[in-house]
Amino acid sequence: MAESTELNNVIEDIINRFKDFQGPLLPVLHGIQTKLGYVPVESIPLIARELRQTVADVEGVVSFYPHFRRTPPPPFRLEICRAEACQAVGARELERHAKIVLGVDYHEISADGRISLDPVYCLGNCACGPNIMVNERLIGRVSASRFDEIIASLPREV
């Protein structure tokens, strides 16, 4: 119960920070995800009530944007650049390899719960593609074998 009350307090603080904005829903959702790493499903009725929206409206926004997570994130978020410059130097092949190695598609989490895989459409490192980002670490010139090394180097226990 204390955890639920604590979670509600965090969410209410974020709502109060943005509720007077014009169109506050997206800033509220981003604020919650920034603070917690995800938008808890149980927070949706509270957000709806406080912003005077329907649960369906809030749920619709959360489900429409793949950026918003409904569950706590895994320890490692892996993003693969899908921009044209990276595609020109092998990003599509890297993407296929990553999906096989991790056993997931985009917006999914590996079976061991450690790694999520997400597309990104430019990491601003075009001269060094193909690029990936692991959490906030940008890595360039990633081949399939280098990808395997990167994955193997990630700590098992976090």
Q: What CATH number did the domain enclosing 124 receive?
A: 3.40.30.10
- For residue 24, what is the enclosing H or E element? none
pLDDT band at 157 (very low <50, low <70, confident <90, very high): confident
Q: Indicate if 144 and 87 belong to the same structural domain.
A: yes
pLDDT at 4: 82
What is the spatial distance between Cα 87 and Cα 10, in angstroms, rounded to a whole number? 41
Last residue of a domain, one of 64, 86, 106: 64
Structure confidence by residue, pLDDT tens digits, 55-110:
999 999 999 998 899 999 999 999 999 999 999 999 999 999 999 999 999 999 99
Q: Indicate if 53 and 87 belong to the same structural domain.
A: no
Q: Indicate if 51 and 98 belong to the same structural domain.
A: no
- For residue 130, say if its preceding peptide bond is cis, omega within 30 degrees of 0: yes
Report how many domains make up the chain.
Answer: 2
Domain around 86? 76-153
What pTM was computed for the model? 0.78
Q: Is 21 exposed, middle or buried (0-12, 13-18, 19+ CB in 10 A)?
A: exposed
**pLDDT above 90: percentage of residues in the chain:** 93
Q: Indicate if 35 and 104 belong to the same structural domain.
A: no
